[in-house]
Amino acid sequence: MFPQTRLRRLRRPILRPLFTENTVTTNDLIMPLFFVEGATEKVQIASMPGQYRWPLADAAAVAKDLASDGIKAVLLFGIPKTKDAVGSSAFAEDGVIQQAVRAIKTAVPSMVVITDLCACEYTNHGHCGIIHESCDGPDLDNDASLELMQKIAVSQAAAGADIVAPSCMLDGMVMAIRDALDAEGFASVPIMSYSTKFASALYGPFREAADSGFSFGDRSTYQMNPANGREAVRESVLDADECADILMVKPAGFYLDILWQVKELGLPTAAYQVSGEYSMIKAAAQNGWIDEKRIVMESLVGIKRAGADLIITYYAQDVARWIHGQQ
């Protein structure tokens, strides 16, 4: 008689697809893109083979190409010509990200354009806001930086962003941005908060891509300690209370326990498979040590299984092609 419970019964090749609990589709994917003000040619990012820093002139073509592969949403980062201590170029009407938004919305109106809302690419010190002198030395001035985030949010919404995505990890960031958007007539623009963002070594390649390395210290006075799980959930609870529309856990793969708990809060939940996650997979794949396609799909279905409704990944376009049977 033994064993009567046989889980292998449903694993026959013809039965297995019927019992797949989670599937990654192009509806889940958000593609990050970097636009460089003043650039004339695309430049491959050395630590992220297959990813580029794009000139603004290519924005329309890039968006059309993504749309043709079924990608429905992009997350934009801008690298400005000029940086200063207070990140002024982040909220300029003709700033790099504002121009990129307009170009993409004009070329592909159906593309959901999400803007990363932060100052670190726009400040000369590379931190995510305005610096003041604290008892521990120079540090992010939380409340002064909130005013900066409000200005950036309004200028991104005015440029036509469909969703703004604050990534600065300041206290009170979501409420401040909601207030500013509502006051300026953008009450219907959703906020996708980088609500639980860890101070991670996995952002290394991004900082080359976005030219956003810092001149002193690190981001650990505002981004979270990777050791802390309870605090990680609290960070997202607070943002939900401040009216965030979408929560996010970042990075993704090392933090699936957090993702699961944040999803349980009941809001749409995103996970960001960050630059270092991409680079690690890519490097091993280029060495022939792993099967890139299988590893990527396994990493993404794992993120989905842990609770992600949306996955931000540099592999988005590759995955869209694989899903549709190309390459």
The set of catalytic residues is 197, 250
In the list ligand PBG, Zn ion, none, the entry touching 189 (Cβ below 5 to 8 angstroms by class) is none
Under rule CB under 6 A, residue 181 binds ligand PBG = no
Helices (H), 69-172: 96-107, 142-159
**Least Å from the CB of residue 20 to ligand PBG:** 28
Under rule CB under 6 A, residue 90 binds ligand PBG = no
Neighbours of 256 (CB within 10 A): 17
Q: Which of 167, 261, 279, 313 binds ligand PBG (CB under 6 A)?
A: 167
Tell me: is residue 294 an annotated ligand-binding position: no
- Tokens 């307009």, located at residue: 102
Q: What is the CA radius of gyration of the chain?
A: 20
Alpha-carbon distance of 321 to 327, in angstroms, equals 7
All residues at 6 or more sequence positions from 109 whose CB lies less than 8 Å from its CB, including other chains? none
Alpha-carbon distance of 92 to 90, in angstroms, equals 6
**Least Å from the CB of residue 162 to ligand PBG:** 18
Tell me: is residue 207 an annotated ligand-binding position: yes
- Bridge-based pairing state of the strands 43-44 and 52-55: antiparallel
Q: Is 298 strand, coil or helix?
A: helix
In the list ligand PBG, Zn ion, none, the entry touching 58 (Cβ below 5 to 8 angstroms by class) is none
Under rule CB under 5 A, residue 128 binds Zn ion = yes
Q: Is 257 strand, coil or helix?
A: helix
Under rule CB under 6 A, residue 269 binds ligand PBG = no
Tell me: is residue 235 an annotated ligand-binding position: yes
Residue 271: which of 319, 310, 297 has the closest Cα? 310
Under rule CB under 6 A, residue 206 binds ligand PBG = yes
Q: Which of 73, 120, 130, 246 binds ligand PBG (CB under 6 A)?
A: 120
Q: Which residues are annotated as a binding site for Mg(2+)?
A: 235
Q: Which residues are annotated as a binding site for Zn(2+)?
A: 118, 120, 128
Return residues touching ligand PBG (CB under 6 A).
Answer: 116, 118, 120, 128, 167, 203, 206-207, 219, 274-275
